[in-house]
Amino acid sequence: MGKKEILKKKIAQKANSNFPKTLILGIIIFGLFIYLLSIFQLNKEEIIPITYSQFLQYVKEGNISSAVIIEKATKGRDINGKFTSGKLFTVYAPEDPALFKLLDESSINYEAKPEDTIVKQILSFVPFVLFIFLIWLFFIRQMQTTGNKALSFGKSRARMASNDKQKVTFKDVAGVDEAKEELQEIIDFLKNPQKFQKLGGKIPKGVLVVGPPGTGKTLLAKAVAGEANVPFFSISGSDFVEMFVGVGAARVRDLFDRAKRHSPCIIFVDEIDAVGRQRFAGLGGGHDEREQTLNQLLSEMDGFDTKAGVILIAATNRPDVLDPALLRPGRFDRSIVVDIPDIKGREEILKVHIKNVKLDNNIDLKVIARQTPGFSGADLANLVNEAALLAARRNKQAVSNLELEEAIDRVMAGPEKKSRVISEREKKLIAYHESGHTVLAHFLPFTDPVHKISIIPRGIALGYTLQLPLEDRLIMTKEEIIEKVTVLLGGRIAENIFFKESTTGARNDLRIATETVQRMITEYGMSEKLGPMTLGKKNEQVFLGRDIVKERDFSEAVASEIDEEMRRIINECYKRGEEIIKNNKAKIETLAKTLLEKEVLDAQEIEKILGKSPKKNSPPLNMPVKDKETKDTQSV
């Protein structure tokens, strides 16, 4: 019998042992109410007992007004009040046939009733007792529940996953092969700890899973518990901290006590940065409730018995704010990075999410994976769900490429806003603006090719130009960054050339271009004038915000040179883009007019208008795409 079955049996035995006590208590309370009601019944009239001979004499003398015969007992009232002062009397009347004849002769009104038994008396009090019981159930039980909550305030709020539910295994997790290999050793230890202990090896006490939001950190921890077939306690970091001092530390102690009782098991703390932030980084006092909770967590992890079989897995997307004591060896021994999936990982993730979705036979998941650079696992799940909803809305029997393409646009830029009223003048401005981006992205040799161009408003964008890389890249050269900035300026250049004015539609493009050039100079060391230097040091004062406290470790003269370099690079990019657009004015006008007619153009239609793109660093389309992709979208 497993530990879980033993625990269930103990809970059932405890419930069975408490049932007789509750039943006996209810019977005692019910009997007490009956007894009190029978004694202290309101408006109960006094009954005087008399003998049968006295009763016959009262009847003959005409002193009885009425009589009630109940089995062998007779009740009545003295009409004159001479004998019982007008009060009720009762008499034991034997079976006397002459009694009814005597009552008839004396013209006394009488009636016969069955005997009022104890059961009937009890039943007469049932409505009142039921009302009292409901009051007791509502108020007393409420007070007991409140008392239990007060007593369990320091209890952990961790939820224990049941093995009866559908388990999550590594088959449900895709795109993180390296992370699964790292965690496989944890699973082996939970299944067979003697394998490591006999050689003197110690399993890591804690595993920190780091990655951007939506990459599957929580799902990965659940899969580890499902593969190892052990209890799984899950809790969020914010569940530890309360407004009362000491509650967080108490909950940490209770969580680890519960885990040790169910060992071997896994504790999963999601968003651990809520409780594990670096200490003494605030402006006020350093001894607060969060720090007490963190101190208790550090103490519990340091006191872990490696033979207990309790492993702590924590997830965060902010490892930079965690306290160094939490990350030292002996606490979180391993750090596993779960990054945005590459094209192969995206294809595997899509295969997981389409298991319950009906797809057309002509859908190629490799094409969908290539069109979704930068998508996380959560984005891909949302993509498949959006496509299924669109197909159901259109009363289709299966999801086609059309729904998947539209779902990609919805996830990246938001839903279409065809109902938005846009004047013809503004629509023309948007068409030429996006055509400027497209022409520069098409003719510059080191830019990503244009996949789609649209002037249909989506989200906050009035139009967008979507570029998708042909291969995954981990680094970018200076020339690629320069050309990226040039493409970003293409919308503003087209506005100035064709309309002789500037609009607010390029504000987002200008912001991204300025930030990119600033990083080129201050972070990447790509300025010929300033040299290979990193300028501007960031302090890790996490409570103040890193951008606010960015330390300026250079002089005013260097700051002036940075501004001059930024202005020079942006102006050079502007002149380069202006020259390309002026040399292709006819093609831009044709592209803009076609865009005004169709509103959306794909890569083939764009190439038909602009001609073949002179790309130099991109492999042919039929070659396999390798590693990591990035997406570049310019929006108005």
Give dist(CA 340, CA 375) in Å, integer.
7
Q: What is the 3-state secondary structure (H, E, C) of 482-515?
A: HHHHHHHCHHHHHHHHHHCCCCHHHHHHHHHHHH
Count of CB atoms situated within 10 Å of the CB of 596 = 15
The 8-class DSSP code of residue 46 comes to P
Give dist(CA 578, CA 446) in Å, integer.
17
| C-alpha distance from residue 103 to each of 89, 114, 244, 531 (Å) | 16, 19, 82, 131
DSSP 115-168: ---HHHHHHHTHHHHHHHHHHIIIIIHHHHHHHHHHHTTTS--PEEEPTTSPPP
Helix (H) or strand (E) holding 68: strand 64-70
Count of CB atoms situated within 10 Å of the CB of 390 = 18
Judge contact between 312 and 267, C-beta under 8 A: yes
> Strand order in 464-467's β-sheet?
600-602, 450-454, 464-467, 632-635
Give dist(CA 62, CA 536) in Å, integer.
120
Tokens of 75: 């009740």
Task: Name, in order, each residue with C-beta under 8 angstroms of 365's C-beta and a sequence gap of 6 or more.
Answer: 347, 350, 351, 354
| C-alpha distance from residue 383 to each of 80, 287, 414, 603 (Å) | 97, 45, 12, 21
Task: Name, in order, each residue with C-beta under 8 angstroms of 470's C-beta and a sequence gap of 6 or more.
Answer: 448, 449, 618, 619, 621, 625
Pairing of strands 310-316, 265-270: parallel
Helix (H) or strand (E) holding 206: strand 206-210
- Active-site hit among 271, 289, 386, 434: 434
Amino acid occupying residue 24: I
Give dist(CA 79, CA 110) in Å, integer.
14
Tokens of 481: 């960054």
Judge contact between 544 and 526, C-beta under 8 A: no
Catalytic residue status for 115: no
Amino acid occupying residue 280: F
Judge contact between 315 and 183, C-beta under 8 A: no
Judge contact between 575 and 407, C-beta under 8 A: no
Catalytic residue annotation: 434
